[in-house]
Amino acid sequence: FDTEQLLSSMEKLRKGQAVDIPNYDFKSYKNNVFPPRRVNPSDVIILEGILIFHDPRVRDLMNMKIFVDADADVRLARRIKRDTVEKGRDIATVLDQYSKFVKPAFEDFILPTKKYADIIIPRGGDNHVAIDLIVQHIHTKLGQHDLCKIYPNLYVIQSTFQIRGMHTLIRDSKTTKHDFIFYSDRLIRLVVEHGLGHLPFTEKQVVTPTGSVYSGVDFCKRLCGVSVIRSGESMENALRACCKGIKIGKILIHREGDNGQQLIYEKLPSDISERHVLLLDPILGTGNSAVQAIRLLISKGVPESNIIFLNLISAPQGVNVVCKKFPRIKIVTSEIDNGLNDEFRVVPGMGEFGDRYFGTDDE
């Protein structure tokens, strides 16, 4: 087993480079009889082999570990067929080797690695349900932003052409103030609805006018909003439209000041520590404002896991800072941008959200 070459090949594939895999010749027991097989890099790499879970360095490379659990008779039958037809061995040799080496080695070395698997699939390729589930999982992972693969509490709302269209409008520097507000509001409403979906619920049954029972859920009662002034205030209407009479606290953070951030003003519900908090700020840039705001909420006794941060556009830098410092809060956003420029503006971004929304930009 050339594990070192396997590891270096995997590393190259992950970096997007093609690799040449040696073709082992089972008849001569040599590696250089046939030309190597060229494998090109790809989004999904399937690494397959009977002892693939043995080396921890190899296991660590895997995002999903599958053990195909074949029946012992099937394994022996396949082996007899393969070794007589493909490897040119006679049945007596195959059976002798099986009982002396293969079966004990399977029990000693392959079976124990089953514990490392995330999924154990009985009946192999015939198990269509298991295969569908695996395909679905890989599809989901491929569709996710890379940051969502790292941070399980980061949620980017499912993109549609409607959502892309609205983003195109609010990001266009030529969009009028009127349209900017209209499409921001539509996007904000989607983010708010999505964020509310992460609140806990209780089961509830109601009787419909047909006299039948509908088994549903009851909304979480103890919640409040907290907006980061000014831009966060643009999200208050959407929250009020969804949650009638919701209490909304406010935090004002000035970008310059001690450590670059200064808390200027705060007014929060007195019983905030008993509530789930929807923190409102459309832009997450460096993450400094968000960190300040979340720290304040935690200092008021709000459990980290009770905070849902609602965001329209996020920079990866801000996501990293917030998710690393507060791994239990949830972030819901509608798009993650490429990064920040020298002035710490989100790029491509949409400029100064507050100025465009409240009409205090120069035009």
Ligand X SMILES: O=P(O)(O)OC[C@H]1O[C@H](OP(=O)(O)OP(=O)(O)O)[C@H](O)[C@@H]1O
Ligand Y SMILES: O=c1cc[nH]c(=O)[nH]1
Q: List the one residue from 39, 61, 106, 247 that touches ligand GTP (CB under 6 A).
A: 106
Judged by beta carbon distances under 5 to 8 A according to partner kind, the member of ligand Y, ligand X, ligand GTP, none in contact with residue 284 is: ligand X
Helix, strand, coil tally for the chain in percent (to 5): 45, 20, 35
Cβ-based nearer residue to ligand X, 121 or 167: 167
In 3D space, the residue among 346, 334, 314, 339 whose CA is nearest the CA of residue 160 turns out to be: 334
Distance, in Å, from the CA atom of 78 to the CA atom of 99, rounded to the nearest integer, reads 15
Check: CB of residue 116 under 8 Å from CB of residue 65. yes
Interacting residues with ligand GTP between 51 and 80 (CB under 6 A) = 68-70, 75, 79
The mark string for 17-56 relative to ligand GTP (x by CB under 6 A, - otherwise) is ---------------------------------x------
**288 near ligand X (CB under 6 A):** yes
Shortest reach from residue 326's CB to ligand X, in Å: 14
Please name the amino acid found at residue 347: V
For ligand X, the binding residues in 164-223 under the rule CB under 6 A are: none
Sheet of 223-229: strand order equals 154-156, 330-333, 307-310, 276-280, 223-229, 247-254, 262-267
CA distance 357 to 156: 22
Give the one entry of ligand X, ligand Y, ligand GTP, none that residue 306 binds, where binding means its C-beta sits below a cut-off of 5 to 8 angstroms depending on kind: none
- Identity of residue 28: S
In the list ligand X, ligand Y, ligand GTP, none, the entry touching 113 (Cβ below 5 to 8 angstroms by class) is none
Provide the β-strand partners of residue 69: 122
By CB under 6 A, residue 117 contacts ligand GTP: no
- Smallest gap from Cβ 346 to ligand X, in A, equals 8
Three-class DSSP category at 135: helix
| Closest residue by Cα to residue 306 from 298, 295, 315, 314 | 298
Q: Does 230 bind ligand X (CB under 6 A)?
A: yes
6 vs 293 by CB, closer to ligand X: 293
Q: Which of 238, 253, 242 is nearest to 219 (CA)?
A: 242
Q: Single out the residue of 102, 98, 89, 78 nearest to residue 29, CA to CA.
A: 89
Question: CA 179: distance to chain centroid?
Answer: 32
Q: Which stretch binds ligand X (CB under 6 A): 31-39, 65-73, 277-285, 305-313?
A: 277-285
Q: Least Å distance between CB 319 and ligand X?
A: 10
Q: Total residues contacting ligand GTP (rule CB under 6 A)?
A: 9
Smallest separation (angstroms) from ligand X to the CB of 286: 3
Q: Which of residues 302-331 bind ligand X (CB under 6 A)?
A: 318
Q: What residue ranges bind ligand Y (CB under 6 A)?
A: 231, 283, 285, 345-346, 349, 352-354
Question: Interface with ligand X includes 97 (CB under 6 A)?
Answer: no
What residues make contact with ligand X under the rule CB under 6 A?
A: 228, 230-231, 255, 281, 283-290, 318, 344, 352-354
